[in-house]
Structure 1
Amino acid sequence: MWLLLPFVILPIVEIALFIQVGGAIGVLPTIALVLASALAGVAVMRRQGARAALDVQRAMQDFRDPGRPMAHGALVMIGGLLMVVPGLFTSALGLLLLVAPLRSLILRRMARRMRVSGAGYSYSRTYGAEADFGADATGFRRGPGWSDQGAIDGEYSVQDDPPGPVRDGLTDQTEPPAGRRGNSGWTRH
């Protein structure tokens, strides 16, 4: 029920604002205002995508938390999207989200309400003699819950023999005849 309330109230508010603003400044200026807002919203979203990526990259290079630039970028993108949606109320909300101090205030309020309930990572080793003693084959003692699920064991050997096609005489690895160029081995004349 509460989720449907904004979808019912928002169109009523938008229509009422269209009537009030249209009566005050006229129909054509109201339509021009909505179109200008949509164009400005598209410009903001195009510019913000690249700028948010640069801000996150700069934060990572300075060994800072990239969460803050990402959150500001997301709010600016939401503001641009609200400006694109036809309506005066949504455009006003979008413009408010473009103001940096207001975004910071919104993010602080959101951060106060967030709570991390738990995070963890486990990896368990459960087979062989290493599981009995808690160490792997190199003697390195792993923490509790260590596992090699997903590890692929393999063997390799170094061979000095040439590859099979050369060994079997399927390619020419000799000097080319007098009238022939290259030594690709793809053709024989």
Structure 2
Amino acid sequence: MPILFILFVVIPVIEITILIKVGQAIGGWYTVGLVLLSAFIGVNMLRYQGVTTLMRAQAKIQSGEMPLSEMRDGIVIAIGGALLITPGFVTDAIGFACLLPFTRGLFFKIFGERVASAFVSRGGSAHFYSQSDSSFGESNRSSGDDIIEGEFVDVEDSNKTDDRKRIE
């Protein structure tokens, strides 16, 4: 509940306050222009970073590796894009920071572990793989897991008898 309160009450109040202060300092139309300019630049950065991340992910898939870091980057880029579309200077600053390659890992370390711990505490399970766990061929299981490989035959189908041959 506090996260929803922060997202839908605190952040909009901060954004409106900053927009009013900036509007008083440089003028209303200049403020609107800055908001539109930041959204335009942000959308173009989002497009470029998204395509770059997609190409890196495709290259890893073709080489037989799991593109985990690219998937993580894609999540942070999508969040950054959503923040850039939202009008305001605070959300734009956070959104631009999400699009910068050297800050994405920081965002995921800070927020990814919190999201994972909240997910696990509600009954789910989560595991964040490191870059070393990223190939398809590697096993992420420990040697103590009870995994049994084998074949099976559906006994129910083979034990059915034909009703015409049954003697009663």
Match for residue 27 of structure 1?
28
Q: Tell me the amino acid that sits aligned with residue 65 of structure 1.
A: M
Q: Partner of 1:4: helix, strand, or coil? A: helix
Q: How does 1:114-153 map to 2 (within 5 A)?
A: 114=116, 115-116=126-127, 125-128=152-155
TM-score, scaled to structure 2: 0.63
Change (3 A) 1:3 1:110: closer
Please name the residue that 1:8 is paired with.
9
Between the aligned partners of 1:88 and 1:51, the Cα distance in structure 2 is 26
Match of residue 48 from structure 1: 49
Aligned length: 128
Greater percentage in helix: 2
Cα deviation, 1:15-34, whole Å, max 9, x if unaligned, reads 11011111222212111110
Unaligned runs of 5+ in 2: 117-125, 128-140, 142-146, 159-168
Q: 1:111 to 1:28 in 2, by over 3 A?
A: closer
Moved over 6 A (4+): 119-124
Q: Distance between the aligned counterparts of 1:28 and 1:73, measured in 2?
A: 34
For 1:95 and 1:110, the matched residues in 2 are separated by 16
Residue identity matched to 2:85: V
Alignment correspondent of 2:107: 106
Identity of aligned residues (%): 33
Aligned partners of 2:11 and 2:148: how far apart in 1?
A: 43
RMSD of aligned C-alpha atoms?
3.1
Q: What is the TM-score when the length of structure 1 is the normalising length?
A: 0.56
CA deviation vs aligned residue, 1:144-187 (integer Å, no higher than 9, x gap):
xxxxxxxxxxxxxxxxxxxxxxxxxxxxxxxxxxxxxxxxxxxx
Distance of 1:26 and 1:95 partners within structure 2: 24
The whole-number CA distance in structure 2 between the counterparts of 1:66 and 1:111 is 17
**In the alignment, is the contact (CA less than 8 A) between 2:19 and 2:89 conserved in 1?**
yes
Query: Larger RCO: Structure 1 or Structure 2 (Cα < 8 Å, ≥ 6 residues apart)?
Result: 2
